[in-house]
Chain A
Amino acid sequence: MSILGTRVLRTEDPRFLTTGGVYTEDVVDDRLAGACHVFFVRSPLAHARINGIDVSATLSAPGVIAAYSGADLADLPAIPPMMSGLINAEMTRRLLAIDKVRYVGEPVAVVVTEHPYQGEDAIELVAIDYDPMPPVLGFELPADAPLLFEAAGTNVAGELGNESSLQPDLFDGCEVVVSRTIVNQRVAPAPMETRAAAAAWSTDGRLTAWIPNQGAQGTRAELAELLGLDQSQVRVITPDVGGAFGAKFGADPEHAVVAWVARRLGRPARWTETRYENLISMTHGRGQQHTITIGGSRDGDVRAYRLQIIQDAGSYPRIGAILPYLTIMMTTGPYDIPRAEAIAKSVVTTTTPVGAYRGAGRPEATAAIERAMDLFAAEIGVDPAQVRRKNLLPAFAQPHRTAFGALYDTGDYVAGLDKALEAAGYAQLRKEQADRRASRDVRQLGIGLSSYVEITGMGDGPESPPTENASVEVHPDGTATILTGTSPHGQGHATAWAMLASDELGIPVEKITLKWGDTDLIPEGGGTGGSRSLQQGGAAVQQASRELLEVARERAAASLEANQADLVFDRTRSAFAVAGDPEASVPLSDLAAAERLVVRTVFSAPGATFPFGTHVAVVEVDTETGKPTLLRMITVDDAGVVLNPLLAEGQRHGGIAQGAAQAFVEEVVYDADGNPLTASFADYPFLSATEVPSFELAEMQTPTTYNPLGVKGIGEAGTIGATPAVQNAVIDAVAHLGVRHIDMPATSRRVWQALREAAALSGSEDT
């Protein structure tokens, strides 16, 4: 029986639960002996000119070795914005700010000390003379807003279409048109492990950098670029990584500065940021404003949809600035809408740069269309489940091309919706809701739906073939080693990749070791993000294992003096045997003893895959206090074939909780001066196990044909499906009281305010 599809326990966990992980701050290595410690002096102002920096006082503080400011690094090239084709190329940045600061938290200077505890005292002694400028905040910036980058001449980082490209007659013929401007708020990735780096240079001028990341090879490329080095001069090693959520891709200026300090001082250097620094200077996520307009017939046919996006890219355009590209690609989601259009604009503001965050652009698209569906349903007075069913794309066997260029591989969206509704007991829930409404219960029930389709395992574009490599080696002692270009940080690749190799090679999972995240050992790889790992990295492991068996078959034939065609592979013994003569056999381990038995391969997929599903959230709202409580969460997340249900469920659980947290509580808040108000975990909330129920996961598996495993990505389904379902449920709970929309996070206060406004409105209508 195949091990695939079974609940193999995570081989990673005994170590994490006993001795614990080894994170970048924990790394003990001879190359890091005698390391100094780097501390960043960060801007306390959102927007200001720097008149002068005086580090002299800090140099005499206890333990201080050196202090540097932007001027010391001025010979390094300015860093261009990401995707400079799409983004205004003048919006460049420096590793340490030189003339201007553009957000609270921007690194301005560094102090280097002997011991880690000396740095925070020492940075207080760096004197910086700032000339404050007005902050630039929000989505719709006034025409006379000060410019973040004078040379750019604008605060618009980039545009995809614009107002003049909109079709004036898009909604012609629609009986009902609803429009609303909503916010998909800025959130903080807040991984348990903050950012860190350790850097050492060898005498041959090569840098070794330990950095928590999502792909050592991509981190090496960016680090080399930031430091003006050739990639061959850089080795990146990935220790255990305590969460990333998209925000640990590549390298940040701080990582490069630590490496620069190590070279300048001829001494290894280390840095670990504090939680405060993490919350104000690791990239944030989301941060889009949507104007959604939806039109159709009174009986629920959606005929036209328009999405206008403004992306708050933060101060320096990074991935966040181009996320609307992905949002636009997924504009219509799982629906068949005859006329649809989308435009986007990214603006820079004096806030922390925005980057990728679990779902990166797709949750925003889903949130927009799912709110639009509910607004439309409420306007025509038709059940939101019916409106969805009526407009979902019918099941398709051949890939479906959308008007926005996406090619959906396989899908049966109606079946997903029906399965979720059935698992939820939808009709019964609606009845209970009606009862509570009728009895004017203080605690009202809300039922929220979200049907989604998303894109996973995207290459450089939606159709550039994504690839990943893997090596598999069998050793003479019967163990095996896998090298992968993916970069697990909680997902369980060590277990899953071992299952795949075990299934082919007949070697027990516990005898298989997975290695990743060392660019000298594994020079190529795409890392882990965009839910790509299993469908490409896992597929590569299976392919490498199969190719290894072919190599072994040849050698076994020679060793057994038999015909290759007469050999059968006996998985129970991990050996080739002559058909009909099991005594005449040779195990893989013996073949490996005779000659190294190793295969490296590259798997290439025809394109991205599109998982889909429906989430149903059941929320209770205390109408006196406004407090919402999540009672139930029922989800169908169809990501094709499931390799290990335990791992897949783990991805769903974490994602759902994280997605619900965006809907309920999470938000990065700035005051009117651009000061971050959510710079500690006392103020920046997320949900814990106490605030969420046990999730009810319904199973559905529609295989893809894009890889032999039939798998799609599951890593981001939770944050894509759950957020709008929860938001819709909160609004649904109070819809009968006249509430049509509440922006996220739907906190108690916001719900109470919405109730009050609705009551005031209905009161004024009465009179």
Chain B
Amino acid sequence: MIPAPFDYVAAQSPEHALELLAEHGDDAKLLAGGHSLLPMMKLRLATPAVLIDIGRLSELAGITADDGELVIGATTRHADLAAAELARSQAPLLAHAAALVGDPQIRHRGTIGGSLSHADPAADLPMALLALGGRVELTGPDGVRTVSADDFFVGFFETVLRPQEMLTAVRVARKPGVPWGYQKFVRRANDWAIVGVAAVDGRVALANMGSRPLRATAAEQAMADGASAAEAAELAAEGTSPGEDIHADREYRAHLARVLTRRALEHQR
């Protein structure tokens, strides 16, 4: 419950953070809200030698509208995203997902950049971003590159982020008034999803149905071909490979994915 020894540096600016990353390389970890990293360090599942704190960089926080897109800074807290009028009207699914993360304390510390970079397959925001077809801006020594959510998550707690890169912003298309559905199946209110489903605009994303957030492509295809929600939902678990833990085995997760997908498609807001 006490982390292994480490050094701590508070970055003074995003540029400073990048310099520090370049300097310390693989030994360093960015610290944003700390609500995924610190628990891992306390359990000694992560033992970084240096923590580079970007959590207080106001340059990286905030939500703005940019033409057809909403731009969300990496250190925007879940609570701020959930409460922001701009997010609630232009990307309501994302604001809703942020409102369901953990409990109020966690939502006031955790950041969208941290959640996406951490890439927990059970988490809310990665699934939401995937359903929305959003993109992330990754800033490194050579400048900024933009990666779509479809390409960003590659495996269990794994993304295409390079060691010297930092996720600086998130972009999602503005979709006011487009119906969406969100189903998070939990044991208790503040738990991670045993299975989650986010559906909007013909796209369906799943949480905890594999090593990374997944699209229910067979269900999406069926809908595109004119299938009913119920028919499409029957295909929701195709191509997934959910893990087993004390909450659910594969069969139960596949079953939940089908039921929840149908509900996400039928009960849209």
Residues in A lying within 8 Å of B, measured CB to CB: 116-117, 119-121, 274-276, 624-625, 627, 665, 669, 677-678, 680, 683, 685, 687-688, 690-691, 747-749, 752-753
Nearest-CB residue, chain B, relative to A661: B188
Known contacts A665-B187, A688-B189, A748-B187; is-contact A275 B246 (Cβ 8 Å): no
CA distance A116 to B191 in the complex (A): 31
Interface contact B2-A749, CB-CB below 8 Å = no
Residues in B lying within 8 Å of A, measured CB to CB: 1-2, 4-5, 43-44, 185, 187-191, 194, 246-249, 252, 255-256, 259-260
Interface contact B259-A625, CB-CB below 8 Å = yes
Interface contact A690-B255, CB-CB below 8 Å = no
Known contacts A121-B4, A688-B188, A691-B188; is-contact A752 B252 (Cβ 8 Å): yes
Interface contact A120-B189, CB-CB below 8 Å = no
Known contacts A625-B185, A690-B190, A691-B188; is-contact A121 B5 (Cβ 8 Å): yes
CA distance A624 to B263 in the complex (A): 11
Find chain B residues with CB under 8 A from A119 CB. Answer: 2
Q: What are 14 A-B pairs at a CB distance below 8 A?
A: A117-B2, A119-B2, A121-B5, A274-B1, A276-B1, A624-B259, A665-B187, A678-B246, A680-B43, A688-B190, A690-B189, A748-B185, A748-B194, A749-B252
Find chain A residues with CB under 8 A from B188 CB. Answer: 665, 685, 687-688, 690-691
Find chain B residues with CB under 8 A from A753 CB. Answer: 252
Find chain B residues with CB under 8 A from A627 CB. Answer: 185
Interface contact B190-A669, CB-CB below 8 Å = no
Interface contact B187-A747, CB-CB below 8 Å = yes
Known: A121-B4, A690-B190. 6 other contacts (CB 8 A): A117-B2, A276-B43, A669-B246, A685-B187, A691-B188, A752-B255
Find chain B residues with CB under 8 A from A747 CB. Answer: 187, 247
Nearest-CB residue, chain A, relative to B247: A749
CA distance A625 to B191 in the complex (A): 17
The 6 closest A-B pairs by CB, nearest first: A274-B1, A690-B189, A120-B2, A624-B259, A749-B252, A117-B2
Find chain B residues with CB under 8 A from A117 CB. Answer: 2
Find chain A residues with CB under 8 A from B255 CB. Answer: 752
Find chain B residues with CB under 8 A from A665 CB. Answer: 187-188
| A704 CB, min distance to chain B CBs, angstroms | 38
Find chain B residues with CB under 8 A from A685 CB. Answer: 187-188, 191
CA distance A439 to B216 in the complex (A): 32
Find chain B residues with CB under 8 A from A752 CB. Answer: 252, 255
| A218 CB, min distance to chain B CBs, angstroms | 29
CA distance A694 to B194 in the complex (A): 26
| A627 CB, min distance to chain B CBs, angstroms | 7
Nearest-CB residue, chain B, relative to A627: B185
Known contacts A677-B246, A752-B255; is-contact A275 B189 (Cβ 8 Å): no
CA distance A625 to B260 in the complex (A): 9
| A307 CB, min distance to chain B CBs, angstroms | 29
Nearest-CB residue, chain B, relative to A678: B246
Find chain B residues with CB under 8 A from A749 CB. Answer: 247-249, 252
- Name the one of B1, B187, B256 contacting A120, with C-beta atoms under 8 angstroms: B1
Find chain B residues with CB under 8 A from A624 CB. Answer: 259
Find chain B residues with CB under 8 A from A678 CB. Answer: 246
Nearest-CB residue, chain A, relative to B188: A691
| B255 CB, min distance to chain A CBs, angstroms | 7
| B200 CB, min distance to chain A CBs, angstroms | 22
Nearest-CB residue, chain B, relative to A684: B246
| A183 CB, min distance to chain B CBs, angstroms | 16
- Name the one of A274, A625, A680, A690 contacting B256, with C-beta atoms under 8 angstroms: A625
Nearest-CB residue, chain A, relative to B2: A120
CA distance A685 to B245 in the complex (A): 14
CA distance A189 to B23 in the complex (A): 47
Find chain B residues with CB under 8 A from A120 CB. Answer: 1-2, 44
Find chain A residues with CB under 8 A from B44 CB. Answer: 120
CA distance A275 to B2 in the complex (A): 11
Nearest-CB residue, chain B, relative to A677: B246
CA distance A244 to B5 in the complex (A): 33
| A743 CB, min distance to chain B CBs, angstroms | 15
Find chain B residues with CB under 8 A from A680 CB. Answer: 43
Find chain B residues with CB under 8 A from A687 CB. Answer: 188
Residue among B44, B188, B248 having the largest count of chain A Cβ atoms under 10 Å: B188
| B172 CB, min distance to chain A CBs, angstroms | 29
CA distance A119 to B5 in the complex (A): 12
Find chain B residues with CB under 8 A from A677 CB. Answer: 246
Nearest-CB residue, chain A, relative to B259: A624
Find chain B residues with CB under 8 A from A669 CB. Answer: 246
